[in-house]
Structure 1
Amino acid sequence: MAHAPYKTPTLVGEKPKHWLLHGPTKRYIDNYHYHSPGVGIVASYTPLARDVKDHFNIFRGVDQVESFAQASVVSLATFSECKKMKILPVELSNLFVPTFISIGEVNYHSYLEKGQTFINIGCIKFYKFRQMVCDGRIYKVPPGLNLDEYFKDFTDERLLAYDVSKEFKLVAELKGITGRAIKKEIFNSL
């Protein structure tokens, strides 16, 4: 039996497969490590062989943007809407389809390979009428680091300042990543 998401204080400890509508081959989030409703999130992913197939064992930049969007505008907005409507994510998926509205700016500083865990740090800049805008960064995680332990005492101030150890390697900076939940009847009529 599914739990009531509106009783869940944060996404930390939740399984992304319960919060993202994306199927398993297009879900680019493994774990949520820090979540402050109304502020932002830290979520991780480790690219698999299928994610880099036919692309030189490199996790594509467009997939990095997708991972960031799933961690930020999709997960955060789904959480907020489920709390507001007092429904489960699966019920929300019967009403809305998550869509990209715009991507402001993305600057890449490095790359990610198969098996290299990375984190998305997403900060909410705007949220109203099922539309959310987030800025953030993607960092390559130092090998062997326990992310749950590392982020257990993280704070909103550190999140907003992207305050992580210098051992994390900056991969990308993202601005104006915007998503909106479109009513299914509108989406299907276009």
Structure 2
Amino acid sequence: MKLYTKTGDSGQTSLIGGRVRKDDARVEAYGTIDELNCFVSLAAAEAAKHGELAEMAALLIEIGQELFDCGSDLAYAVEGAPLKISGEPAVRLENWIDKYSAEAPEITKFILPGGSSVSAQLHVCRTVCRRAERRVVTLAAEHPINQEVLKYLNRLSDFFFAAARAANAKLGVPDIEYVRSAEVFRKAKK
């Protein structure tokens, strides 16, 4: 199988159900999800280097599978296509967010991305995820989409924040506080 087809040389690409320009909102949305998936794979590879983050690395690989499903759901230009993402993955993300939030110290101030390399990469995932979410919102304003994809991306960016903080905690690396931040988060009541 050849990797190049030459069918996109004119600036168009194929979707399931038709051809569109390569800068079409649908292509922008699933293309940004594809970009996010590459960063997730990078974070998973970095996490896998640390035994204490093996579970997180496995979760990131699972997220990669789900991101592929999200992109697939958005690649349909016809209604009634079989969808892959349901509400269950977003609920599972909420459980993982709660778990990782409990593993990190209380936060009272804004933090900068970073600390450890794994945490920095997860923060990159968080910001690319937010961009993917914005692209999907744009697409949803123009065409019907699987709304579960939007919900999933919204939870996923929160997951990356919680996982980044948990990675730092597990590796014994403190978060980097934004030095000009006031105390903006209230301590949890016990």
Q: TM-score, structure 1 length as denominator?
A: 0.24
Which structure has the highest helix share of the two? 2
Q: TM-score, structure 2 length as denominator?
A: 0.24
Which structure has the highest strand share of the two? 1
